[in-house]
Amino acid sequence: MEKDRFRGFVAVGVSGEVRDLLGSVASRLAPRFPQYRFVSCENLHITLLFLGDGIERNMTEVILSSLYDAVRGVSAFDLGLGAPGSFPETGTPRVLYIGIGAGRDRLEDLARKVRRSLSVLGFHEDKPFQAHITLARRKRENRFRRHTGNLSDESSLWRETAVRALGKDDPPCCPATKAIWRVAEILLMESILAPQGASYEVLGRIPLGDAGVWETSGRTDV
């Protein structure tokens, strides 16, 4: 992509403790799902709005300013992990994820504010917001291969094994204490695509509430 343009999205980060927990889950389950590429711990996040490709870099400050105005007065809140699932729910799963339990209503409200604010700048998302953390994506070489097994069983296997790996009882999961984290900012992210997978750069951090002005930053952990 041209240096004066980028592929971007707005996200909420995940705490180090939750990243470690989900990384442990991924390590345990990856051998059972070899047709999927699991996301590295440092890249785990919740996407609020995908902005698209080819965004002009000189729009960065405008986007950050709009986001800052959108979340003023929105106080920090807690999120907790919820039930595992897949996209789509039927057919060949392309994405395996962990949902959000505690704080989901607050997160959905935050996403609405972000989407409403950036729609004025021409950033629109046709898909409704679904609160989740992507843990794995189906490998490209497996997406078009004819599947001879039971696809519904594949989705069910993910839900059942992920629930056990998280130490939950029955879905929908009730978040354990260690699976709860504080959301105090939103992030403007750049996605840098590569054959081995995407890497992310934090372009700016927007504090929730009246914690101060936004910050621009370089590549770092989400």
CA distance 33 to 59: 40
Token readout for 23 is 């990384």
By the 8 A CB rule, do 5 and 55 touch? yes
Q: Residues 80-101, buried b or exposed e (16+ Cβ, 10 A)?
A: bbbbbbbbeeeebbebbbbbbb
Give me the residue label for tokens 């440092």. Answer: 42
Give catalytic status of residue 45 as yes or no.
Answer: yes
Q: 192: which strand partners?
A: 199
d(CA 119, CA 111): 12
Burial of 162 (0-12, 13-18, 19+ CB in 10 A): buried
Give yes or no: 132 in active site: yes
d(CA 100, CA 46): 9
Contacts of residue 194, Cβ cutoff 8 Å, sequence gap at least 6: none
Catalytic residue among 45, 115, 168, 205: 45
Catalytic residue among 19, 113, 115, 132: 132
CA distance 75 to 115: 18
| Residues acting as catalytic residues | 45, 132
